[in-house]
Amino acid sequence: MYDVYYGETSVEEIKRDKKKYDVIILNHVIEHFPKFFPTMSSILQHMNESGVLYAGVPNIDNYSMGQFQNAHVYYFSPRSFRYYMEKCGLKELDFGAAKRTHMYGIYEPNLTKKIGRKSLSQSLGEEYRLMLSKHRRLIMRNAVITILNKLRLKNAVKSVYKACT
């Protein structure tokens, strides 16, 4: 017989809890944490050394305006998501796309704690520049589409584009 607990809870309740768990699932939760590292630290204190963590988040690389929400504090690309999980002391077991706009990772505690990547500020600075460039392209694309729609030229330009490709 296994002692299985399944339920939804808050970080505050987890902090009061003294139990350890074999599996922790954070599906579309961590992008809402106002204080990412302290919150993750509180949660990970309750994961057994042989436990696993499943985390699912929106993938900002598959950028759409629908992904932006006031409730999202963090926006993760596959690179930043993996980086943050590693900084939490986790080792990746599996990583992939959950849908076109979402991704997931399965992690275990990294007991060796050997992290061989660039400094956090250097890596996130590169990520910021990449995401800013994508954001600018999306704004420009949406502006061009709006102008073409107002001029009633969108379908004509689309036809020419398809003929040329």
Q: What is the pLDDT of residues 9-54, one digit of tens each?
A: 777 777 787 788 899 999 999 999 999 999 999 899 989 999 999 9
- Say whether pLDDT at 5 is over 90: no
Strands, E assignment, the chain: 21-27, 47-58, 90-99, 102-109
Count of C-beta atoms within a 10 Å radius of residue 58: 24
Q: What is the pLDDT of residues 75-121, one digit of tens each?
A: 888 988 998 999 899 999 999 987 778 899 999 998 776 544 455 55
DSSP state of 37: H
What residues does each domain of the chain span? 1-117, 118-165
Q: Are 109 and 93 in contact (CB under 8 A)?
A: no
**Beta-sheet pairing, 47-58 with 102-109:** antiparallel
pLDDT of residue 63: 66
Sequence letter at residue 138: L
The two three-digit tokens of residue 42, written as one number: 């509180």
CATH of domain 1-117: 3.40.50.150
CA–CA gap between residue 129 and residue 131 (Å, rounded): 6
CA–CA gap between residue 114 and residue 94 (Å, rounded): 19
